[in-house]
Amino acid sequence: MAEKKKEQKPLLIDPWSILSYPLLTEKAIGKIETENKLVFIVNRKSNKKQIKWATENAFNVKVDNVKTLIDRKGRKKAWVKLSKEYSASDIATRLGML
């Protein structure tokens, strides 16, 4: 009997152990307003699926995609694009960014 591979689910942990803090730069604020994206500094060991899970559970939204980068300071940045039915501006206001 062939077993199907199950999709790995992240451990049921605090989403804020993956998402360290939102990034507050002019460029990040511009992404919120123009592209419906949030920018976070995340745990360096986390992967895109974990970042997506953490964002969806922390803010009760649906995430379209996640892009990551390790910057010169050694931090891992994540650009999280939200679905069209959710507004990044609303979440940024809730976080006190706007």
CATH number at residue 61: 3.30.70.330
Q: How confident is the model at residue 13 (pLDDT cuts 50, 70, 90)?
A: confident
Residue 5, pLDDT score: 58
- Number of independent structural domains in the chain: 1
The answer to the question of residue 8 being in a domain is no
Residue 27, pLDDT score: 96
Is residue 10 over pLDDT 80? Answer: no
Task: List pLDDT tens digits, range 30-68.
Answer: 999 999 999 999 999 999 999 999 999 999 999 999 999
Strands (E), 1-97: 19-22, 37-42, 63-70, 76-82
Rounded (5°) CA angle 29-32-34 = 105
The answer to the question of residue 10 being in a domain is no
Q: How far apart are CA 82 and CA 66, in angstroms?
A: 9
Residue 4, pLDDT score: 58
The answer to the question of residue 40 being in a domain is yes
Find the domain containing 44 and state its range.
Answer: 15-95
Is residue 97 over pLDDT 80? Answer: yes
Is residue 7 over pLDDT 60? Answer: no
